Every structure is written in structure tokens, then in C-alpha cells.
Amino acid sequence: MPEDSTHTPTMVTCTAPVNIAVIKYWGKRDKDIILPVNSSLSVTLHQDQLKTTTTVACCRDFVEDRIWLNGKEEDINQPRLQSCLREIRRLARKRRSDEYSTVDVSVLSYKVHICSNNNFPTAAGLASSAAGYACLVYTLAKLFGVEGELSCVARQGSGSACRSMYGGFVQWKMGEREDGKDSLAEQVEPETHWPELRVLVLVVSADKKAVGSTSGMQTSVETSCLLKYRADSVVPGRMDEMISAIRKRDFAAFAELTMKDSNQFHATCLDTYPPIFYLNDVSRRVINLVHRYNCHYGETRVAYTFDAGPNAVIYTLQNHVSEFVQVVRHFFPTTSNGGQFLKGLPVPSATISDDLKNAIGMEPLPKGISYIISTKAGPGPCVEEDSNHHLLGSDGLPKKTV
């Protein structure tokens, strides 16, 4: 019995990437529409390793907006979700009066079902909200036929989500306006610009969840005088330096500034009252290891950066990645040989010299790092053309197979 087409959900599925900042975003000057106290810059990671997939369906029969995240239904009334839904619908209605509207406007009055999954475990401690909101906004826009600048909408879901709207190297310009219209992400260079750049996510075995970034950055804005100084007087120069290092593919400059900016972000967390700690003893060992590794070679071959958690993200170049992975294996030996220590892009095996081991000179720490995700820079959000990949079934509910 064929269904009446108006009762069949209209459905779009898209994917969006994680991004890792090299000039950090920490602190809002406007909490409601999420305007930052400083500009920031990130590398978009490849979706082959880390991505969010989101299906949005709309149908005249849906009685309410609903959302499922990683298999669990969540509250659709969260203010930031509502901001994104409202903004996209507003842009779609505005577009309706424009010339090339191909969208059935009735769709805009329908309720939506949203289903979103990550291809990486939450335990990886990667900020999934950036990929999540970028994917939501991108998918809603495709469903409603909204084109053009969308980072401004994603920003209102989660600040750093605006940077996940583009591939490669992306800056979030803080802007000056009170309405946030100039607080946007822009691609600095596409992912093809620097193919040798490689990324390793070192997933640290953490005991428990630290202070969340939303409340943490607010406390920092209110209490850390060093954060204010950083935002006003340090970051503007660093943005210029970072863009220049990326344009020139100057790895040493890129790496050193990345490390300094990660450290300065964590310094402002420590200057917060009460202080916020995201780095733990394993994080600090990774930091020391990287500096000793670089020192041994007399050049900066590897950089670390840490977000609001103990996991290290390593930037390095193609020709150093296999040795550095072996260094990590040596100094953070796994006890279970069963589990896969290295996930993602293959890395050739390598041996490391005793000279190098001695230069690093640390006691190996078993189980400090759970596993490594090997990846690289990648493109921005994409439409998933294969309808088999929809996360929602024709009944508008999450497929059981997920």
C-alpha cells in the first residue's frame, strides 16, 4: 500500500568534522549569542576518523520537534538547540522571498526529528559539541534550502562549532558588533594547502570529567585578570603570526605558537578563581616528552595542544609521525596487547634509537594513554548522498541498527 507522499518524511543526512584549535577560544563577551573575548584558529580534522552524522527529517505528521543524540532522546528545548532551529527557520523564510527558492515553504511549518551520532567514543574526550552543532546547522540548512554564511548560526549552538563549518585551517574572527553579525568563521587555507601535516589524538586515561567548558570559561572571564590581558593584548598578534605560519607552511613557527597558546590557555584556567585544571600528570608527561623530543633533534618537529581535558592532540609532519608514534608507544606502553593502540590512518612501524630514549629520559608509564587516533586535516561538512545512511527510518524514528 503506497504511502501518501505528504506523509513521508523529507529527510537529509550530513556529516561534519571535529576541529582542534591552535589559537584557543576561552571566554565569551556575550553568553546569549556566544560572542568570544578573542579570535581563534583551528585545524579541521578529517571525517574519515572523526565525524558527526546527523539526519534531520520533517513531516506534516510529526507532532513535536524531537532529538536523539548517540541513541538517546534528549531535551529539544535546550536554549542553544532552539537558537539554531529558530535561526535556520528564520533564514529559510527570508530566502522564500528571494528568487531561487526551490523549497516547499510548507516544510517550514512542519516539526523536525533530529538524530545525531558520533563515530568516535565520548570517552575520547573530544569536544563533540562543535561537530554536533555544525552538523545540525548544516543539515537543517540543506533540508530547508538555506545557503550562504551559516557559521554565525552554528556559533550560537556552540562557539567553536562555527569553525567546524569549514575544512582545512579556519579562523573565527571575534568581530566587533553587538549583534554578532561579524563574529564569523572564515577559511584561512583549505585542507589541501598543507598535505604533510598530520594529527595524533592521544587519548589519556582520565579518572573523571573536569569542569565543563561553558561554566569554566565564564568563571575565567569573571575572575582571571590574565585572561583579559591575553584576549586584549596577546591573541591579536598571535592570530596574525599563526595565519602567516600556516600560509608559509612554516611548521616550527606553527608548532611553537600552538604549544605556547595551549599553555597560555591553561595558564588562564589556573589563574581563574577557584582554579580550573584540565591537564593531569599524564598530560604534563606528554608535554615534557614533546619538548625533549624536539630538543634532541634541535628543531621543532612535534607540537602538543590541549583543550578542556587531559587528552593531547599532537601536530607533526608526515616524515616524523612514525617515529613519534613509536616514542609514545615506548614511554606509554600498553598492558593489553589485545586492544588496538593505534586507530585511524595507518602509521608505518619505526624503531627508535637508544640515544633518543636517553635524551627523553623518562620512566615509561604503563596505561597512561589508552589509544591514539591518527588523522590529518580534512574538509568541512558534507551531504551524505546514500539514503541508506539516514539515521532515521521512514517512520521518522531512529533506525534500530544504530
List, in order, residues 6 or more apart from 149 with CB less than 8 Å away: 184
Q: What phi and psi, each to the nearest 5 degrees, are found at residue 23?
A: -115, 120
Helix (H, G, I), strand (E, B) or coil at 312: strand
Strand 197-204 to 369-376 pairing = antiparallel
Member of 28, 230, 329, 376 binding a copy of itself (CB under 8 A): 230
Nearer to a copy of itself, 47 or 283 (CB): 283
In whole angstroms, give the CA distance from residue 160 to residue 236. 18
| Residues constituting the chain | 402
Question: Smaller CB distance to a copy of itself: residue 186 or 271?
Answer: 271
> Does residue number 361 form part of the binding site for a copy of itself (CB under 8 A)?
no
Q: How far apart are the first and last CA of the chain?
A: 27
User: Is 273 a residue that touches a copy of itself (CB under 8 A)?
Assistant: yes
Per CB under 8 A, the list member of 6, 101, 215, 233 interacting with a copy of itself is 233
* SS3 call for 311: coil
Distances (CA, A) of 17 to 9, 86, 302: 26, 23, 23
Q: Does 205 bind a copy of itself (CB under 8 A)?
A: no
Shortest Cβ distance from residue 197 to a copy of itself (Å)?
A: 22
What is the DSSP secondary-structure string of 44-63?
EBPTTTSEEEEEEEEETT--
Binding-site member from 267, 317, 345, 350 for a copy of itself (CB under 8 A): 267
Q: Position 224: which residue type?
A: S
Nearest distance from residue 259's CB to a copy of itself, in Å?
Answer: 7
367 binds a copy of itself (CB under 8 A): no
> Taking CB under 8 A as the rule, does residue 301 contact a copy of itself?
no
Which residue in 264, 370, 374, 375 binds a copy of itself (CB under 8 A)?
Answer: 264
Residues 6+ apart with CB under 8 A from 47: 15, 16, 17, 378, 379, 382
- Is 218 a residue that touches a copy of itself (CB under 8 A)? no
Closest separation in Å from C-beta 235 to a copy of itself: 11
Does 297 help bind a copy of itself (rule: CB under 8 A)? Answer: no
Q: Is 37 an interacting residue with respect to a copy of itself (CB under 8 A)?
A: no
Give the range of 156-164, 253-261, 317-325, 385-393 binding a copy of itself by CB under 8 A: 253-261
DSSP 3-state assignment of 67? strand
Stretch that binds a copy of itself, among 69-77, 126-134, 172-180, 281-289 (CB under 8 A): 281-289
Give yes or no for a cis peptide into 274 (omega within 30° of 0).
yes
Contact pick of 259, 289, 313, 372 for a copy of itself (by CB under 8 A): 259
Scanning 80-88, 117-125, 140-148, 255-263 for contacts with a copy of itself by CB under 8 A, the matching segment is: 255-263
Contact 257, 328 (CB under 8 A): no
Site residues, a copy of itself (CB under 8 A): 225-226, 229-230, 233-234, 256, 259-260, 263-264, 266-268, 270-275, 277, 280-281, 284, 287, 291
